[in-house]
Amino acid sequence: MSVEQQKCPNCAGGLAFDPTQQKLVCAHCDAAFAIPAPGGPSAPNVEVLTWELPKTGWAPEEAAGMLVYACASCGGQIVGNQTSGATSCPYCGNPVVVAGQFAGGLRPDLVVPFQQTKQAAIDTLQRHYQRKKLLPKSFKTANYLNEVKGMYVPTWLFDFDVAASADYSAQREIRTSIKDVAGQAKTNVETQHYRLERAATVTFDAIPVDGSSRMPDDIMESVAPFDVTKSTQFNTSYLTGFLADRYDVDAEASKPRAVQRMTTTTESLLLGTTSSYSSVRAESKNIQIRRARVLYSLLPVWILSTTWNKQRYTFAMNGQTGKFVGNLPTDRGLFWKWFFGLFFVTALIGCGASLAYVSSLTPTAEQGLPIWPWIVTAILALLVALIPTLVWQGQLKTVHLQAEAKDNVRKGSFQVTHTRDHYLRSTNKIT
């Protein structure tokens, strides 16, 4: 298997892709060169979801999946596993590309080039620590950066044209002020019952599903979206200076995740057409995929690893947009300090107001003094203490699996094709 080394035509030094200039730059003479054109015309492969990729499993005897590559610059040997696509020589530091792994059936359809630099990732990490009230103070000072890697993550991009329909049972409440026979104010609640019919079409573009088992799915979904309209035809020149994996989770195995996010989003969009009702329950739903295709892509992500208190923390930045995610630890002491501080301050103010109010009342022999002001004070103090601390704790957790794919809905593609509201009956209740 040959190793492709990008060489500078001026000084024969190693070339690496520069995200800022979007060119190949020589590390020795700083010369910049445009990305060479592909070897021949080609179009992205378009497959339906039932298409299966060729099996690429490795035989057990193949050295437990390890491969040895030779650096074209210094002749050193580079060791990598079966999913390593691009790495740097550990001896001379020159970037090399294992071109053979990206040929034939394993060749990506497109690549989204890096737009963000390594220094931008490091600077964003420092900003990520700011304005976090519950972050341990020692985390900023004792936490140290292990490594920063620019990685192209293999990702399947799913497109769908969808037709959906649903039936709902719905209620709408109409409240009217009335007086009873004794002249006391009452409220008549009229509940109108309906059966709703909805149908619509919608198009999804490039729902991403991570094709690497080594990249956590929640991180990859959290750094999305990527602007795939700014992608380019795959060229190994974009990989120089970065790591890259080839997929080890194929399109067929990735399909359920894409369909799940598409389905959840479609159901949410349909439900949004019933917002004029006070309560809605789905009775039946039907989603049909009229057209589907999948593309194999490489998406840019900066991976940053840090260590604090002997624990490893992983952060990620979208190499195109700069979106940054990564979970941070919570200082439990600070959490309870803020909680009880807010609780007691609010309770003290509330108790003073309640005492003043109760003191102004004249107790009756039958009822005595009311206790509701104290109950309201306790509930208010609890809410004032709990809500901010939970919000601050949530700011430390930015990595989540994404339930929907609304970022991937093509603009203007959601079209309601059928809507009908059947009035059934009304019920009345006086309160």
Q: How many residues does the chain have?
A: 431
Domain shared by 350 and 423, yes or no:
no
Region for 81 from its dihedrals, namely left if φ exceeds 0, alpha if ψ lies in -120 to 50, beta otherwise: beta
Domain shared by 239 and 300, yes or no:
yes
Chain center to CA of 373: 44
Q: Is residue 26 part of a domain?
A: no
H or E, element range at 330:
none
The pLDDT score that the predictor gives to residue 103 is: 44
The pLDDT score that the predictor gives to residue 374 is: 86
CB 280 within 8 A of CB 168: yes
The pLDDT score that the predictor gives to residue 68 is: 47
End-to-end CA distance of the chain: 81
Domain shared by 176 and 258, yes or no:
yes
Q: Is residue 76 part of a domain?
A: no
Domain shared by 273 and 204, yes or no:
yes
Q: Is residue 22 part of a domain?
A: no
The pLDDT score that the predictor gives to residue 428 is: 84
Degrees to nearest 5, angle at CA 264 with 261 and 269: 120
Spatial separation of the C-alpha atoms in residues 271 and 166, rounded to whole Å: 9
Cβ within 8 Å of residue 275, ≥6 positions away:
none
Spatial separation of the C-alpha atoms in residues 171 and 192, rounded to whole Å: 5
Q: Cis peptide leading into 256, omega within 30 of 0?
A: no
The pLDDT score that the predictor gives to residue 323 is: 96
Spatial separation of the C-alpha atoms in residues 5 and 15, rounded to whole Å: 8
The pLDDT score that the predictor gives to residue 371 is: 82
Domain shared by 321 and 362, yes or no:
no
Q: Is residue 134 part of a domain?
A: no
Domain shared by 295 and 184, yes or no:
yes
The pLDDT score that the predictor gives to residue 345 is: 93
The pLDDT score that the predictor gives to residue 329 is: 93
Question: What residues make up the domain containing 168?
Answer: 150-329+409-430
Number of domains observed in the structure of the chain: 2
Predicted structure pTM score? 0.76
**Residue 26's CB: how many other CB atoms inside 10 A?**
20
Strands 243-245, 84-88: pairing kind: antiparallel
Cβ within 8 Å of residue 311, ≥6 positions away:
329
The pLDDT score that the predictor gives to residue 233 is: 87
Cβ within 8 Å of residue 203, ≥6 positions away:
159, 160, 161, 162, 409, 410, 413
Domain shared by 164 and 225, yes or no:
yes
Domain shared by 156 and 213, yes or no:
yes
10-residue stretch averages of pLDDT, the chain, 431 residues long: 55 70 69 60 38 37 43 50 50 53 62 94 93 90 85 91 93 84 80 94 95 88 93 82 79 91 94 93 90 91 90 93 95 94 92 84 65 88 94 93 92 95 89 76
State the amino acid at position 195 in one-letter form: R
Q: Is residue 343 part of a domain?
A: yes
CB 108 within 8 A of CB 118: no
Domain shared by 360 and 304, yes or no:
no
DSSP for 188-211, written as a single string: EEEEEEEEEEEEEEEEEEEEEEE-
